[in-house]
A and B are shown apart, each in its own frame.
Chain A
Amino acid sequence: MTSTLKGITLKGSAELVAEFFSFGINSILYQRGIYPPETFTRVTHYDMSLQLTTDPKLKNYLTNVVSQLKEWLFECTVQKLVLVITCLETNEVLERWQFDIECDKSAKESSAPREKSIKTIQEEIRSVIRQITATVTFLPLLETPCAFDLLVYTDKDLEVPEKWEESGPQIIDQSEEVRLRSFTTSIHKVNSMVAYKRTDSV
């Protein structure tokens, strides 16, 4: 963490947000049972216990994506991060966890740190992760084997890096949306929400 306790810089903000995504994605994967629970290990962060994967492949993938995301966050070129959960049998999108990122591009020019303590930011992040955990109560059960994918919405003028490719938005047909809490580092604002396929039975 480069930022001091008093304020926060663009770099610190990007790191903080990327860290949040890392933990958030891990806890979604654990809560939704995309990966078996025995492949997760308990870790204490943000003053709460969180689940982190131990699956080497998944770990590698997440570090790749999150480091790239950090770069984009630093450049303020990322608009959204979407975690898409797809049913493997029907190739149908069942859930979309969308994190809208609002970048304050003025922070790129002025390097002056913003006045917001990491403690309060972490408190906000904690409440977002708590809410993610709580959403399991109303989300429909994933009965079929599922896989996930991470989509990043970036500015059009961005150069596509190696190992990355363009993709469709993976929109759910007939979805219900629920807005979750948001948090802001005063440079990046992250609004979270989840959309899930409407089940006919309800």
Chain B
Amino acid sequence: MTPHQVNPSSVSNSCICRYFRVLFIPANQQNECKQNFVGSSRQGSLQHRYLQLDQEKKQMELSHKRARFELEKAAADRTEHEVDRNQDLLGRIKKLEERETDAAKNLTEKEEANRSLRKNLDGLNKKLEERDARLNTANQTISSCMDEIRELKQKSQNQEFTISSQTLENQELQEQLDLQRRKYQEVSQLCQSLQAAQSSCSVHLTKIKELERRLALQEQDIAIVKTVKSEVAKVPDLEKELKRLREDNSFLRESRENCSLLKEEVEGLRKKLERMEKIKEELVNMEIEKERLTEKLQAWENLGQSSGLNIRKPEDLSREVNQIQQREIALKEQNYTLNSRVRSVERSQSELRAELTQQRGKTLEEQKKRETQDSLVRRLQNRVLLLTKERDGMRSILGSYDSEFAPTEYSPQLSKRLREAEDVLQKTQHHNAELEAQLTKAQEETGSLKLQLQAVELELESVKKQQTSAADGSSSAAKEEVSTLRQKIEELEAERQRLEEQNNILEMRLERHNLQGDYDPAKTRVLHFKMNPTSLAKQERQQEVESLREEVTSLRELVRSLQEGGAVAHTQDYSCVSGVSLSMPPSKEVLDLRKQMASSELRNQRLKEVFRKKIQEFRTVCYLLTGYQIDITTENQYRLTSVYAEHMDDSLLFKKSSSSGSMQLMETEFSKTLGEMVTLHLHHQKSIPAFLSAVTLDLFSRQTMI
């Protein structure tokens, strides 16, 4: 029940506050604007309000008293009721009493506030009185001002008079002014001419000065000129020389240009010459070749002449060759025919030989016959001789007979006998003639046979000749041979090409090998300097490797000994390994440093812990004492969270301005709800602690209310 009773008082309290604020703001405005005429009416309203407020205050006091009365009454009632009840309520009562005391406190506070408000009111009254006094003085000044205005009006009338008179004067003066102006213009023209004259004068003066200066200079110059003249006398000579030199110069320039041109020309000519030399060489080669070719040609022509063929051109040659081939073919055919003929001739020859042998046998027979005939003829001649002798003998006998006998005596018988003898003779003669005819016949026959033989022999010889000529000319066998030979040549040619290709490939390979650095050990030997950089570098490398190896082994031993550990090993190491003594001191140092580092780290950590502890302590103390937890969100920004905050997020943000060092409240969701306190404590009182305390109290009161 009690809190509800307390509440209206607090509400009314806040109401009062609001009224005061309302009062304040217009008063300020009044102060600032000095509207004197409105003051009286306002004063009336203020007084009215003041009365109202007084009444309200009285009411409030009454209600206060009433409330207190009622509270006491209720308490008394309660105590009466609660004596009978159990003692559990006693705790409550105590709490309530505490609250009562709080309320009492509040009351006192509010009374104080009332007092202060009263004071304010008094102050305001005083101010109002002051303003009244000011208004009175202002009214007085207004009346005095009105008097002054009147005086001023009179003065202005007087002045108007004076002005009219002055305007008249003015006109006169203006006329005068015009005159003066004209005069002035004239004067100014004169003045200008004068100034021009003066300026020209000054110019002339400066000119004169300059001329004087020049004169002086000229005098000096004359002195110089005199000296120069003597030199000038030399000038023509010098000019001549100059001319000459210029000419020389131009000539030299020209000659230089010429020279460069010539040089270029020379360069060109040199190049040309080189080309010409090359060409010359080529020409010589060409001539040599030409001679070679002419020789060849000559040889060909000679060949042509010697062979009697009209070979002048390769076409002729080919034609000739064609002809020759054709001829050869024809000859071949002829040869074949001749061969066949030869064979037939041979055959006929063999036949003829057989015939010849037959004929020879015949001739032999004939010769035998002839011999027999000859012998027969001889015998017959002998017989003829005998017979003639016999005949002669007979005739002589017959003569003798005739002589002895008269031709008449013997007659028939003798004549008979004679006749008979004559017949026989005739017969033998006849026979002889026959034999002779036979002989001539045989002889003729042998002659004819001989002729025949000779003919046959001739024929044989001719056949033989033919045979030999056929053997010479006939190329049937040779032709075959030639064709086989040609085939062979072709084969050989093909083989040669193949071999050439192979040779090329092998040469290429050889070249490649040569490029790779291969060589013929039979002809070449490869040398290099003994102390070459490669071998030196290799040696160095090997040495380095060896030294490194030694070091590694020594270090390994050292490691092993160290692993075996102990000071004993240490001392041994000192004595036996020289490198160890070098390596040990730094390790000691390192150990020392490490210890130092560890100790410093430890110290640091301890300090950190102490700081942390202290900070925590400080923060908790601050929190407990001020009721605010202060956090730093970002730089120069502090977040304050009250102990009594209704929500976790309710916080105030302060920013420390870097320039002035003062703190400024930033807007948050929570600070928006505290507009009144902000205006009161921050805008008027300008005290952050007061604001914070007010907030604390506010929040605390809210908490206690629930």
Contact = CB atoms under 8 A, between A and B. Distances in A.
Contacts of A165: 527-528, 530
A167 interface: yes
B519 A149 contact: no
B528 A151 contact: yes
B664 to A, nearest CB: 66
A147 interface: yes
Given A96-B517, A171-B516, A164 B525 contact: no
Given A156-B524, A177-B512, A163 B530 contact: yes
Q: Summarize B's interface: helix, strand, loop or mixed.
A: mixed
A82 B233 CA distance: 80
Contact of B526 (A57, A96, A166): A166
Interface string B184-202: 0000000000000000000
A170 B531 contact: no
B524 A153 contact: yes
Interface string A171-200: 110010101000000000000010100000
B528 A152 contact: yes
Interface string B541-557: 10000000000000000
A164 B528 contact: yes
A177 B517 CA distance: 10
Contact of A61 (B529, B538, B541): B529
B516 A172 contact: yes
Contacts, number: 105
Interface residues of A, number: 44
B541 A155 contact: no
B623 to A, nearest CB: 69
A168 interface: yes
Given A152-B527, A164-B529, A177-B512, A169 B534 contact: no
A156 B522 contact: yes
Nearest to B520: A156
B263 to A, nearest CB: 15
Given A147-B538, A150-B529, A98 B523 contact: no
A32 to B, nearest CB: 13
A149 B533 contact: yes
B544 to A, nearest CB: 11
B526 A149 contact: no
A158 interface: yes
Nearest to B515: A177
A1 B524 CA distance: 30
Interface in B498-516: 512, 514-516
B512 A152 contact: no
Nearest to A89: B541
Nearest to A168: B526
B517 A98 contact: yes
B516 A64 contact: no
Interface in A139-165: 145, 147-156, 158, 160, 163-165
A64 B522 CA distance: 27
Contacts of A179: 515
Given A156-B524, A166-B525, A193-B515, 6 more contacts: A148-B533, A164-B528, A164-B529, A167-B528, A172-B516, A177-B515
- Which 10 residue pairs of A and B lie closest in terms of their CB atoms, listed nearest first? A147-B537, A149-B534, A147-B534, A167-B528, A177-B515, A149-B532, A169-B517, A152-B527, A171-B517, A151-B528
Interface of B: 512, 514-519, 522-538, 541
